[in-house]
Chains A and B, each alone.
Chain A
């Protein structure tokens, strides 16, 4: 079974400051890792994914995450945040084929960007 822990429930930050949203996971098998973002009254949007290959993955809007197998972490970072990044962010893990579509989510981190 997999589990995901998002270490911060809320992260306030000023505009143009850097931010890190922390995610740790536990699993007895190899995993796929994801970050999703949710805006109010919306579904989940995929931000970035780690399936295989390079451990550093990037999104088109400046976020990046690094898969660290030894520390079982997949922290999300952005060097300079914008007001529009205010949202709730979810880290998720999947065991791929053996999980048959099941994603296990963390409890979410609410990122609030202040002007």
Chain B
């Protein structure tokens, strides 16, 4: 069974640009969550989607958005990139909220 797949693995963007990250969950998993990992703030929850609906959102500005498609694949978008958005972005999928989450390898975003 394939794991959680995130693309691309690495990305370099310029301040002010926007970026879209992609996540394909484990087959059959309908819940997809996104996290930002930085040395200073650690792992922080961005948002969670289930059956194409955002059910929970972390404390991030509106520049961070996401969506989920009918096949459970998810994308997150960051507009007007800032240097502080440089981070490892992790996607996780789970069967439902009462089970464990499985993480992808992450997308390393560098904003210059």
| Residue ranges of A at the interface with B (Cβ–Cβ < 8 Å) | 32, 34, 36, 41-46, 49, 51, 90, 94, 96-108
A-B contact pairs, 17 of them (CB 8 A): A41-B108, A42-B105, A43-B6, A43-B90, A46-B100, A46-B102, A49-B100, A51-B98, A100-B50, A101-B31, A101-B48, A101-B50, A102-B48, A102-B58, A103-B35, A104-B45, A105-B42
- Indicate if the CB atoms of B56 and A103 lie closer than 8 Å: no
Complex: A106 Cα to B44 Cα, angstroms:
10
Map CB proximity to A onto B55-82 as digits: 1 under 8 Å, 0 otherwise: 1101000000000000000000000000
Please, which residues of chain A bring their CB within 8 A of the CB of B50? 100-101
* B19 located at the interface, meaning its Cβ lies under 8 Å from any Cβ of chain A in the complex: no
| Residue ranges of B at the interface with A (Cβ–Cβ < 8 Å) | 4, 6, 31-33, 35, 42-43, 45, 48, 50, 55-56, 58, 90, 92, 94, 96-106, 108
Complex: A46 Cα to B56 Cα, angstroms:
22
Please, which residues of chain B bring their CB within 8 A of the CB of A108? 42-43
Known contacts A42-B105, A44-B103, A105-B43, A100 near B98 by CB under 8 Å: no
Please, which residues of chain B bring their CB within 8 A of the CB of A106? 42
What residue of chain B has the Cβ atom nearest to residue A52's Cβ? Answer: B98
Complex: A99 Cα to B94 Cα, angstroms:
13
Please, which residues of chain A bring their CB within 8 A of the CB of B98? 32, 51, 96-97
Question: Contact partner of B97 among A42, A45, A96, CB < 8 A?
Answer: A96
- Indicate if the CB atoms of B105 and A43 lie closer than 8 Å: yes
- Indicate if the CB atoms of B56 and A44 lie closer than 8 Å: no
What residue of chain A has the Cβ atom nearest to residue B104's Cβ? Answer: A43
* B54 to A: closest C-beta gap in Å: 9
Complex: A113 Cα to B104 Cα, angstroms:
26
